[in-house]
Structure 1
Amino acid sequence: MILLGYAAGPLFSTQVQPPARRRILLLAGAACLLLLALLRGFNIYGETLPWTVQADLLHTSMSFLNLTKYPPSLNFLLMTLGVGMLALAWMEVANERVVAFCATFGAAPLFYYLAHLYLLLALRGLMAAFSNGEAHQAGGIGEIWLWSVAVIAALYYPCRWFGHYKRTSGRAWVRYL
């Protein structure tokens, strides 16, 4: 994946015009998702656990998207790369404020990753403290999305601060984060 990132670097140079870059990203993203649909749809290759039809559409979709992340399966990579390339293509024409918002997290990805883990751990501790140590069961997919948005909002300013610190710092270990 790292080599793919390096190989894609020239696509984002000033020598490639945004419309051409967008077209390439759209085609590559669609190709990844189409290949995923074929491989996963027929349970051909790329995932050890086959998907099955469940009681309803939501659970069938969850079975279909239950992909192996560690080590990443071919289907997991096709899904994440396909969606990622489509998102990058969309950002070529997105509102500048939306792009700037996303770039805030992109300027400090490892910082965000580590900070969100500690924030979730702290939230879990608070929930346990207020519920007399009883485990909290998620109320459904809506609650999970709500918590996801809340974590992103809570970490926006810390990531913005760290992104600025990272750009202005001369320390190598800070640039690594």
Structure 2
Amino acid sequence: MALGYVFGVIYTSKFKAEARRKILLTYGWLSIVLFIIIRSTNLYGDTRLWDTQASGINLLLSFINVSKYPPSLLYILLTIGPALLLLAFLENAKGVFWNKILVYGKVSMFYYILHIYVIHTLAMLAASLTGFGADAMVLDTWVYMSPRLQGYGFSLSFVYLLWIVIVVATYPICRWYGAYKQKNQRYWWLSYV
């Protein structure tokens, strides 16, 4: 998040589009190269070490299997690098699809908070409907660590489908909030949500 504020400066009037693109490409590729160099040593950057595997795809998966919680240096490099490259390549993207995506980008913190509550509410409902009980889904327990939730879960295809449904279902709320932010710019704190 701190890097987001730092990189936000390059989207001000001080930077022209070509200079911004060059900065994004430079730091994006630098992050990826640093990830590869540091990860290949297996000495620093993450508690999970990679190991040789029977197949190339398994080797790749072992190599990129880094810790998200807490975020390791390698996790940050692996996620920030491609994100910066995407920003560089998609800045001038046009069309209906990209306009819809921009709605989420303009209210990203709002969407993040909203989706956490929506997903948690749905998880509590699903736990109740499948006989595990909503109280098993307390906020301070990881689902995979709770002995009360052994056997709880859904297929990956169902999870992806639900993810798409949630993104689409929250679109009108995000669009409304974006319009609200635009009309009420006198409230400075809205820019953070």
What aligned pairs does 1:22-171 form with structure 2 within 5 A after superposition? 22-54=21-53, 60-133=59-132, 135-140=151-156, 142-169=157-184, 170-171=186-187
Distance 1:132 1:39 in 2: 46
Distance 1:109 1:9 in 2: 14
Amino acid at match of 1:24: I
What displacement does 1:161 show? 1.0
Partner of 1:176: 192
Amino acid at match of 2:161: L
What displacement does 1:94 show? 1.7
TM-score, normalised with respect to structure 1: 0.79
Q: Percent identity, please.
A: 33
* Contact 1:127/1:136 (8 A) holds in 2: no
* Contact 1:46/1:75 (8 A) holds in 2: yes
Indicate the larger mover: 107-116 or 130-139. 130-139
Larger of the two Rg values belongs to structure: 2
SS of residue in 2 equivalent to 1:117? helix
SS of residue in 2 equivalent to 1:35? helix
Runs (5+) with no aligned partner, structure 2: 133-148
What displacement does 1:172 show? 4.8
What displacement does 1:147 show? 2.9
Indicate the larger mover: 157-166 or 125-134. 125-134
SS of residue in 2 equivalent to 1:95? coil
Runs (5+) with no aligned partner, structure 1: none
Indicate the larger mover: 67-76 or 53-62. 53-62
TM-score, normalised with respect to structure 2: 0.73
Deviations 1:49-95 (A, max 9, x none): 21234566665544433323344321111112112101111222322
What displacement does 1:42 show? 3.0
Cα gap change, 1:122 to 1:13, in 2 (>3 Å)? same
Count residues with an aligned counterpart.
Answer: 175
Distance 2:13 2:188 in 1: 27
SS of residue in 2 equivalent to 1:51? coil
Distance 2:99 2:51 in 1: 40
* Contact 1:91/1:99 (8 A) holds in 2: no
